[in-house]
Amino acid sequence: MVYDTNIVVSAALKPGSIPASLVALAMGKHVSLFLSPAIVEEYTEVLKRPKFGFDPIAIDAFLRDLRRVATMVHPTQRITKAPDDPDNRFLECAQAARTEYLVTGNKRHFPFQEFEGTRIVSPAEFARIVAKESPPSS
């Protein structure tokens, strides 16, 4: 799956939140996260904005860990489907990875439910999907 930037920002801002649990699933390799260079660049730029007050060293470590567990893809096709052009980088990554899900807290940025086989879902929707697919622990 691909996580929109708002998922990683929400995870950093609110430990214990659904986005934080989704990032933890990726960090634990319980779900397959896909990144592209453009997405890593956006994550970095947004997480280092002064308004959030995150420690830059902690952000670098977090992004290094995220890159370590994710699969990096290098999209070759330019997409212009999303109304806000930077959101197209997430569609490009999802397409290149042929992933099932793009998880976003801003579904209005993706005014369609699906893109070339990738479902656009909220964090809560994805958490329910993962919970259904995971066998209960004993």
Identify whether 76 is part of a domain.
Answer: yes
Identify whether 8 is part of a domain.
Answer: yes
Q: Where are the beta strands (DSSP E) in the chain?
A: 2-3, 34-35, 71-72, 101-103, 114-115, 118-121
For the segment 104-126, what is each residue's pLDDT rounded down to a tens digit? 999 888 989 999 999 999 999 99
Can you spell out the DSSP letters for 2-25?
EE-HHHHHHHHHSTTSHHHHHHHH
For the chain, how many structural domains are there in total? 1
- Taking the mean position of all CA atoms in its chain, how far away is CA 86? 14
Rounded CA separation 17/14 (Å):
6
Identify whether 84 is part of a domain.
Answer: yes
- Please state the rounded mean pLDDT for residues 62-72: 97
For the segment 5-36, what is each residue's pLDDT rounded down to a tens digit? 999 999 999 999 999 999 999 999 999 999 99
Identify whether 11 is part of a domain.
Answer: yes
C-alpha dist (Å) from residue 112 to 99, 118, 128: 16, 11, 20
Identify whether 55 is part of a domain.
Answer: yes
On average, the pLDDT of the chain sits at 94
Identify whether 97 is part of a domain.
Answer: yes
Identify whether 93 is part of a domain.
Answer: yes
Q: What percent of the chain has pLDDT over 90?
A: 90
Q: What residues make up the domain containing 120?
A: 2-133
Rg (CA), the chain: 14
- Please state the rounded mean pLDDT for residues 78-98: 95
- Please state the rounded mean pLDDT for residues 71-84: 95
Of the pLDDT bands very low, low, confident and very high (cuts 50, 70, 90), residue 138 is very low
pLDDT at 137: 53
Model confidence, pTM: 0.93
* Backbone dihedral angles phi then psi of residue 102, each to the nearest 5 degrees: -120, 120
Identify whether 71 is part of a domain.
Answer: yes
Q: What CATH number is given to the structural domain containing 42?
A: 3.40.50.1010
For the segment 33-60, what is each residue's pLDDT rounded down to a tens digit? 999 999 999 999 999 999 999 999 999 9
